[in-house]
Each structure stands twice: as structure tokens, then as C-alpha cells.
Amino acid sequence: MTFLGDIKNRILGLDILRAVAILLVIYGHGALFVPQKFIPYYKLPFPAIDGVSIFFVLSGYLIGKILFKIIQNSELKPKDLLNFWIRRWFRTLPNYFLILGILLAIPLLKSGIIAHDFNWKYLLFLQNFSGPHPNFFPEAWSLCIEEWFYLLFPIACFINFKLFKNKKKAVLFSALFFLIVPLALRLFCYFFNIGTDFWDANFRKVTIFRLDSLMYGIIGAYLANFKNNYWIKYKNICLVLGLAILVGTSIYTKIHGGGLAYSVVWRYNIKSMASLLLLPFFSEIKTIRFKKIALVFTFISLISYSMYLINLTIVQGILIPKTIWLLGLKENGQVSLLALKYLLLWFYTISVSYLIYRFYEKPITDLRDKIKFNNNKN
């Protein structure tokens, strides 16, 4: 595990949250390989905990910490925004375009045609901007939401700063915009029954309806930066409240089925709020007694981005079927075959993600860290 490098500057609690989030995502996707009679028991943790909601809030929190440092130390000039975007894009774009390129190359090499459902919008993260995400590369839906938030929120802060000449007002009005507009759009569609028949595709995975999810992380970063005494003082209370919300929403959806208003409008705010309430407690965890367990969480956290991008299309769609074919096994739905597929899901997702991280993602990130844009190192 020498590739972990120096982990002294990492926040273990956030690594734990990120690791839990990706493990929940893979666990949920693994339901495809669970016999039907066991599915109700297998899905017992859902919909209490949503790994993607944790990712959104964590992303908002981490970029919020960076943005607030920029805002405090500069006059929020265009070069500051450019510096922020370049460093973000070094972190997020290489893996995305690597997997996108692989998924395009495979059918092109086999049959000479472009993959079905691919279009130019994938190059600009527009494929689910205002409508359902296509079937091609389905993992990418959440990345589109994050990329647009990374682009638009700093622009909103910049514009509001030019209008009000006040940094705190600039952040406040930008935050209100990103909290109110997506919620208002969901409410509008709910009252006029627009797309409510398929809430998962038409709302949960659509960029304009989910930008507020990352905003809760920004709120967390603001509190951690400027109200740190309260952030630390009430961390245990917030943890209990966050867990209570997760359990309460789970019981509610199990009993009442969630309801249309909850599914279309409110679930995203509630899940994000619960994830935000977990942050004070976990952001203060710097170490734990069991060092090897801490290393496992850090390891999973480091490869989590690759795990997310490959677990469905690459692993479930390509590697597992190819392995079953090479082994000469027939698709008969037997429990033993499903168990093998389930084990392969975890083995391939973790091992391939490690290779991507070790030989592709980390070198690019290291290159980013060697580049100093305007002497502002994030």
C-alpha cells in the first residue's frame, strides 16, 4: 500500500464517509446478482442511506473549503476562478474521459460503429442537463451534476461580488439561488404533473433538479470555516439528528411508499440535510485506534472515483460477462453462478480501480499539484 503516500494531511473521517458512500453504491448495484427471494433482505438498508447524496454533500463541502480560502485571500478575480476550475478539472475530467473513451472504442473496434445512445452532449456533460440520462455510460449522471455545480457556483459568487462588493453577501445570494431554484423547479413539475411518472429518471438524475444537493456541502464548509466553535460543539447532536433522519425516512418510505411529493420534491433536500448533519462529527475524526482499518478506509476513499465510474458499464457490462464466457459457464440463473458474479463485481471493481488510480489518476493528480497557477495552491 505504499502508493497511499503521505496520508497525514488527509481527514480520516471524510475518507470514512467517502468509503461508506462508494461501498453503498456498489452494494446497491450488486442486487442484480442476488436471488429474487433474498432481494427484500438485501435491500434492507435502502432507501435509508443514499451513497450518491453523501458524495454530493462531500463534494460541496470540499470545494466550499477551497472556494472560501480563495474568497478570503483574494478579490475574487477571473484568474482565481480559472485556477479553481483547472485544478478541479485535473481531478475529475481525466478519469471520465478515459472511461468514456474505452466505452466508445470497444464497439468501434468490434463493428466499426459508434456506441448506441452516445452523442456529443457527453463531451460537455449535457446529456442529462434537463432530461433523463441516456442508457450509455449510466454512471455519468451524477458527475454531470457535479461538473455543472463546479462551473456555475463560482460564477454566481463572482457576479454577486461585482454587484454587492461584499464577499459574504456574494456567497449568501449565490447559495440562496442554488437552494431555491432547483427546489422551485421540482415543485413546479410536481404541481403541474410534469414527468412525475418516472421520478428517478426525470428528477433524481437530472442536473437542473439536483444542483441544490451540493449546496448543502457548501453550507457545511461555511459553518466549518466561520462558525467552527459551533461546528465542533454540536457535532454529536448533529450526528444523532442525521442518523435519526436517515432512519425516519427509511421507516416512512417502507410504510407509506414515500409518496409522490416526497419522491419528486423533498427527498433530495432531506437526504442532503442528513448527510450535512453527519459532516461535523466525521470531519473531526483525524485518527482511530485501529490503524489498519483506517488504511482500508483511506484506500477505498482514494480509489472511490474510479470505482464509481467503472462498476456498472465496465465491470457488470463487460468484464463479468466476458469472464463467464471464458470460463465456459452457461447463464442459467443458478445461485452458484450469481454468487460468482457477485464476487467478481467486488474483485474487478476494486482491483481495476486500484490500477486506474495507481497508473493514471494519481500521476495526473501529482502533475496538477506541481503546477502553480498564480501562486494559489489548493
Answer yes or no: are the C-beta atoms of 154 and 220 closer than 8 Å.
no
Q: What are phi and psi of 47, to 5 degrees?
A: -95, 30
Q: What is the pLDDT of residue 47?
A: 54
Supply 43's cell numbers: 435491500
Amino acid at 25: V
Residue with cell 464517509: 17
Between CA 161 and CA 182 the distance in angstroms is 22
CA distance 210 to 261: 15
Q: Is 27 helix (H, G, I), strand (E, B) or coil?
A: helix
Is the full-model pTM beyond 0.85?
Answer: yes
Say what the pLDDT of residue 376 is.
42
* DSSP codes joined into one string, 100-149: HHHHHHHHHHHHSSPPTT--GGGGTT-TTSSSPPPSSSGGGHHHHHHHHH
Cβ-based neighbour number of residue 164 at 10 Å: 13
> What pLDDT tens digit does each residue of the chain (378 aa) get?
445 555 667 899 999 999 999 999 999 999 999 988 888 888 776 655 788 999 999 999 999 999 888 888 887 788 888 889 988 999 999 999 999 999 999 876 666 566 677 899 999 999 999 999 999 999 999 999 999 999 999 999 999 998 988 888 888 899 999 999 999 999 999 999 999 999 999 999 999 999 999 999 999 999 999 999 999 999 999 999 999 998 888 888 777 766 889 999 999 999 999 999 999 999 999 988 888 899 999 999 999 999 999 999 999 999 999 999 999 988 877 889 999 999 999 999 999 999 999 999 999 988 876 665 554 443
CA distance 244 to 257: 18
Q: Which three cell numbers stand for residue 3?
A: 502508493
Q: What pLDDT, on the 0 to 100 scale, is given for residue 287?
A: 86
pLDDT given at position 71: 82
Q: How far apart are the first and last CA of the chain?
A: 25
Q: Which residue ranges make up each domain of the chain?
A: 2-370
For 314, which DSSP code?
I
What is residue 370's DSSP assignment?
H
Is 288:252 a contact under the CB 8 Å cutoff?
no
Residues 81, 12, 361, 320: is their CA dihedral positive or negative? negative
Query: What residues contact 262, with CB distance under 8 A and at least 6 apart?
Result: 252, 253
Task: Say what the pLDDT of residue 247 is.
Answer: 86
User: DSSP string of 216-282?
Assistant: HHHHHHHHHHHSHHHHHHTHHHHHHHHHHHHHHHHHHHHHH---HHIIIIIHHHHHHHHHHHHHHHH
